[in-house]
Amino acid sequence: MSNPRHFTSLLDLSGDEFRQIIQRASALKNHRDPNYQPLKGQVLAMIFEKSSTRTRISFEAGMAHFGGSAIFLSPRDTQLGRGEPVQDSAKVISSMVDCIMLRTDKHETVTTFAQHSSVPVINGLTDLQHPCQLLADMQTYFEYRGDIKGKTVAWIGDGNNMCHSYIHAAMLLDFTLHIASPEGYHPLPEILAAAGDRVRLFDNPVAAAQNAHLCVTDVWASMGQEEEQKQREIAFKGFQVNSEVMAAAHTDALFMHCLPAHRGEEVTAAVIDGPQSVIFAEAENRLHAQKALLEFLLCTK
């Protein structure tokens, strides 16, 4: 491919393209045709520096459904882990496969990889962003409640990779995002600044959840921050999604979490296992949303 289309961030899409991928994901989910194999013979390389259940399985299954295949690569077993330059690895790997997905510690690894890759590169989570998860989250909201334009979403917890991708989604799909994070754990100022007045910061989860149509949270300590767990448990006390937070939200508010979750920390069992929670539809939609993304990147002329 001369000018491959990458997905290193949600901001690589326009709002219209985001909506088109969501619609296509639901169509692929509702009408699965085993004879539809648009990626027959094509190969996806998946580089994982961090653990994964959903991302790995959904990409691997998605490629199989589409007639292609996926190769799982960990730095432990490749020369990437022994210091082969990212630039060289990108040139070599992209000369042999049709698409590359990376889950890395540093966001720059994905952007550098994309600069030197001759095939589309997909961000499967970095320290800064998790755009694939937002495709599935937004698909799920649209399926349960219709378009999210003009609605209010409450993000309670860490201003982390997921929170940054929610800010990008608010910009592209035109919803209001309320963020309640403890002092010292706010999203990055440059990401916030780009979103303008679509995003508002709160210091109290109940205030942030007021009349929200969707409440979302994530773990207090992300992958790579395990040694901060104790300190974060103290900082995030009071930033839990519980019945009081959900009671402040709109009566038909949904609850989402990218998973894996820690019941009793960022969310109570009553909420995550309760009637407003759509976490398992959300997780399943990773498969459908990523199939729509792969088709968009690899089949759109």
The answer to whether 55 contacts ligand CP (rule: CB under 6 A) is: yes
Contacting range for ligand NVA; rule: CB under 6 A; set: 40-48, 70-78, 176-184, 218-226: 218-226
Binding residue for ligand CP, selected from 61, 194, 259, 281, defined by CB under 6 A: 259
Interacting positions 139-178 with ligand NVA (CB under 6 A)? 160-162
Question: Rounded to 5 degrees, what are φ and ψ at 53?
Answer: -110, -65
Q: For residue 215, give both structure tokens.
A: 């409440």
Q: For residue 148, give both structure tokens.
A: 């999210």
The answer to whether 258 contacts ligand CP (rule: CB under 6 A) is: yes
State yes or no: is 132 an active-site residue: no
Q: Look at strands 152-156 and 43-48 and give their pairing.
A: unpaired
Interacting positions 127-166 with ligand CP (CB under 6 A)? 133
State yes or no: is 163 an active-site residue: no
Q: If phi over 0 gives left and psi between -120 and 50 gives alpha, with beta otherwise, what is residue 62?
A: alpha
Task: Spot the catalytic one: 19, 103, 250, 257.
Answer: 103
Task: Spot the catalytic one: 12, 218, 232, 257.
Answer: 218
Interacting positions 71-130 with ligand NVA (CB under 6 A)? 125, 130
**Smallest distance, Å, CB 40 to ligand CP?**
26
Instruction: Find out whether 248 and 206 touch, Cβ atoms under 8 Å.
Output: yes
State yes or no: is 218 an active-site residue: yes
Contacting range for ligand CP; rule: CB under 6 A; set: 49-57, 106-114, 180-188, 191-199: 49-57
Q: If phi over 0 gives left and psi between -120 and 50 gives alpha, with beta otherwise, what is residue 259?
A: left
CA atoms within 13 A on the CB side of 110: 29
Instruction: Find out whether 232 and 240 touch, Cβ atoms under 8 Å.
Output: no
Contacts of 219 (CB under 8 A, 6+ apart): 158, 260, 261, 262, 265, 266
* Spatial distance between the Cα atoms of 276 and 270, rounded to a whole number of angstroms: 10
Task: Spot the catalytic one: 19, 65, 130, 250.
Answer: 130
Task: Spot the catalytic one: 12, 258, 288, 290.
Answer: 258
**Smallest distance, Å, CB 136 to ligand CP?**
8
Q: Interface with ligand NVA by CB under 6 A: which residues?
A: 125, 130, 160-162, 218-219, 222-223, 258
Q: Interface with ligand CP by CB under 6 A: which residues?
A: 52-55, 125, 133, 258-259
